Amino acid sequence: MVEKSDPKHLLLVDGHSLAYRAFYALPLESFATSSGQPTNAVYGFTSMLINAIKDEKPTHIAIAFDVSRNTFRKELFSEYKANRAKTPDEFKSQLPLIHQVIGALKIPGLQVEGFEADDIIATLAKLGEKNEMRVSILTGDRDTFQLVNKDITVLYARKGVSDIARMTPDAVQEKYELTPEQYPDFAALRGDPSDNLPSIPSVGEKTAVKWIKEYGNLDELIKHASEISGKVGESLRQNLDQVRLNRKMTQLIQDVKLDKEIADLVMQKIDENEVNKVFTELEFKSLKERVLGKNSSSNIEKNKPSVKTKSTKYTKGVLKEFLERNAKDSIALELDFNGQFQEISNIKWGLANDTELLAFSHDEIDSKDRDLFIDWLQDKNKLKTVHGSKDFYHVSRFLNIELNGIFDDIEISSYLVNPGLRSYDLEDICIRVLGFSPGQSSESSGQLSFDTDSDLEALAIRAQAIYLISKNISQKLQEQNLEKLFFDLELPLAKLLSEMEDAGIAVDLKKLNSLQVEFEKIANGYEKDSFKIVGHEFNLASPKQLQTVLFDERKLPKTKKTKTGYTTDATALEELFASTKDPLLSLILKWRDITKLKQVAASLIPLVDKESRIHTTFNQTITSTGRLSSTEPNLQNIPIRTDQGKRIRDCFINSKNYECLLTADYSQIEMRIMAHL
């Protein structure tokens, strides 16, 4: 598991932050030992940690934890994090397990009374920087953005346990239009609901960014606060004490006294016996296999290819020999490219069976070999096994090739065999069927060697995984009597859907732009009318400010109690309006409806290509019921229930060379049937 690299690289992990994210991202009911011990937090945390070590290859590592909520920040502001619910017992019970895991992995854990994990991380990050180390911080807390510089990168967990954003100085600048040094000044103005740090009334993120950009930093803004006009200026001046306090609260401490030095954080060899013991007790079979690899006592090695794998670096003539040797057999084909539809580039191919692998770039091979390969792609008698056949059809059309001979698409066949799973990505299928990730194959065979391009090596490995999975899934299709469904309906449907995606649907862009502007004007009108009724400006999109206006200022009957006050969802406000007839409620509901329509229009506009068409993606393997879904955009979710919503639908038009525009409600007519018409 331990991979070292030069120069020195320090990986710092926010233990509590990641554990909390994992706890709420992974369903509690799906992660527990046979004895009933919840494990969703420790499983998600461990998975993220393993991925980070694999991807970052640190030479040094440490994990920081909070001790309690009683920190110096609590002393500065007694309401700090007071809005947070009591920590669930199911989460608390997993913290000792997390410490057991990192102990087995020989990773030091640090916590200091009176300080938060962020402060420990900030201190270690600066120590690493002084020691001329590259520093990566894995966390779900945006306060660490203030540490980002050319040597320090934040790996920000945006959502769930796998969506990680790499926050460099350029990334922070792009996201917030501010430097990392300016971020805590911006955060002080914005406030932080998760930490119960109040925002400035009437001052949103855009205004906060504008001020920091104009004045350079918070100190200069405060000096010139008297010059800012309007209600926002008045609001700023009335809340300067809170802003100053927020700034103190968001500043990370960089000189926490620690009982460890940088030298104590060197990556250590894992305790394999302890890993085996702890992970077995937690019933983490797949994680144990990822950590221990072929040293695992599990059956992973039995599932990996037992034959020696021969990898071939492309040279002139090699492709011809490969295809001739396998002329009578199915070949697994994998694909990588940039862009989509009519803007595709950097096409690469991987080919494999159970004993041979080959990969190459489409534009960089010999022209005779390329012509031979194109002939092979078009030959319906040459059987190809793929994952995600629609992509292959898209690329083939871009190359003016008629792709034939796709015999198996393991994404679809895996879905038919087990339609209730969350993901049919190649890596997930590979782990489920073969017991290992495609990235581990090279480690198992010890034979692969592509000297110049690791992307090509990975492509070839994935192709071999596709081949091996196909052998397994094909047998299950036969056992479950699904072959006719697969070959007669699902596989041909994939090709039809790819044609529909390539064709796209025509859009009246002028009308769509006009609608967005119109909806925005209507929304602004509702907003201004609301301000007149209340007597001051407020953020209609803020549940907290709505609660203040509705229940404190207007003394309306309180709705259902929630963790953060009283609900202001649509159902509650509709019921409240029905009983009170308060005109403000009507305006708020109308504002919400028109704002949603404005957002729908705004989300569609960037998706319109130069031919005035939108190319959605039809998903065959998303719903467990077998119906199709569409994404980017979701064409099944274009509004239709209101007259204004229907106007957005009217922007989808019948274009030249097409006879008619067909729409179907999938609750009445199955879209799979429509795809055949």
Torsion of CA 61, 109, 431, 300, to 10 degrees: 90
Helical segments of 480-613, H only? 483-485, 491-503, 509-534, 543-547, 570-580, 583-604
pLDDT at 82: 67
CA distance linking residue 13 with residue 28, whole number of Å: 23
Nearest to residue 609, comparing CAs of 343, 336, 396? 343
Question: What is the distance between the alpha carbons of residues 481 and 491, in angstroms, rounded to a whole number?
Answer: 16
Q: Are 53 and 63 in contact (CB under 8 A)?
A: no
Structure tokens at 493: 């449907």
Predicted local distance difference test score (pLDDT) of residue 242: 87
Residue 477 CA: distances (Å) to CA of 184, 480, 567, 606: 56, 5, 49, 41
Please tell me the distance from the alpha carbon of residue 137 to that of residue 339, in angstroms, as a whole number. 30
Q: Which long-range contacts (CB under 8 A, 24 or more apart) does 363-366 make?
A: 365/314, 365/319, 366/316, 366/317
- CA-CA-CA-CA dihedral for 186, 562, 65, 63, to nearest 10: -70
User: What DSSP designation does 45 have?
Assistant: H
Q: Give the position of tokens 């011990």.
A: 37
> Which stretch of DSSP H or E encloses residue 104?
helix 95-104
pTM: 0.55
Q: What is the pLDDT of residues 145-168, one digit of tens each?
A: 999 999 999 999 887 777 788 999
**Residue written as token pair 């009176």:** 114
CA 344/CA 394 separation, integer angstroms? 9
Predicted confidence at residue 424, as pLDDT, reads 86
Does an H or E element contain 315, and which?
A: none
Per-residue pLDDT at 36? 80
Residues of the chain with pLDDT under 50: 2-5, 294-308, 440-452, 668
Three-state DSSP at 200 gives: coil
Cis? peptide before 96, omega within 30° of 0: no
**CA Rg value for the chain:** 29
The half-sphere exposure of 265 on its side-chain side, counting CA atoms within 13 A, is 28
Structure confidence at residue 514 (pLDDT): 95
